[in-house]
Amino acid sequence: MQTVKKLENFRGAGISDPIGDNHVATSLNTPLKDNAFDLSDEQKIEIISDHFEQIMETLGLDLTDDSLQGTPKRVAKMFTQEIFKGLNPANRPSISLFENKYQYNKMLVEKNITVKSTCEHHFLPVIGKAHVGYISSGKVIGLSKINRFVDYYARRPQVQERLTRQILEGLKEVLDTNDVIVVVDAKHFCVACRGIQDDASSTITVEYDGAFINQQRRNEFMDFIRHQ
């Protein structure tokens, strides 16, 4: 709420882009219009292709060149069906819960999950790893489903803090437990390729609930993800 109020103050002062290089999220939910899914993927591809063609022409590129003439359509398909496919709830992975027949009631950790996302402020890549831990409430999910869940929330314009929180809240819901922890360690190409142009730094975000509010539990999880 404080972030939103600050943004409102900036706008009231006539500042058109209060976010700038601050890279802050304004909400837990990805900002979407009410009619975000009125158009089909095919319709979106056609519209985006037309607009991207205009961008390329404005930059002075010759779209009659064999190498460039198909680029607007390729970019439109990539945006709609690949790197931003996580915007559409229809692409949310189907999750099946299974009885914890092994009676395994300790921590389960899935680490080094590939994160490929996009900074919503500059539309440049965010690449890194996610580490997830949870304690079963009596149900478990297949390990690959955790990876798919992370990928679903990553495949949209994102802010890393929001991405980490969305993964946490989504897994709490499907696992029916609050005992979840998520760490994301990622490199932001908007930092590496523009502005400060620092290609050595990475950003780490952590979200947790339930049993992981306990410092000892968190330390145990951190020890697991550090172990090679």
122-139 per-position pLDDT tens digit: 999 999 999 999 998 888
Catalytic positions are 119-122, 160, 188, 190
User: Each residue of 60-103: pLDDT tens digit?
Assistant: 999 999 999 999 999 999 999 999 999 999 999 988 888 877 77
What are 156's two structure tokens?
A: 């949209």
The pTM for the full model equals: 0.86
User: Each residue of 196-214: pLDDT tens digit?
Assistant: 999 899 999 999 999 999 9
- The single-letter DSSP state of residue 123 is -
Query: Which domains does the chain show, CATH number per domain?
Result: 37-83 (1.10.286.10), 98-226 (3.30.1130.10)
Three-state secondary structure call for residue 223: helix
**Cα–Cα distance between 135 and 108 in angstroms, integer?**
6
Burial of 85 (0-12, 13-18, 19+ CB in 10 A): middle
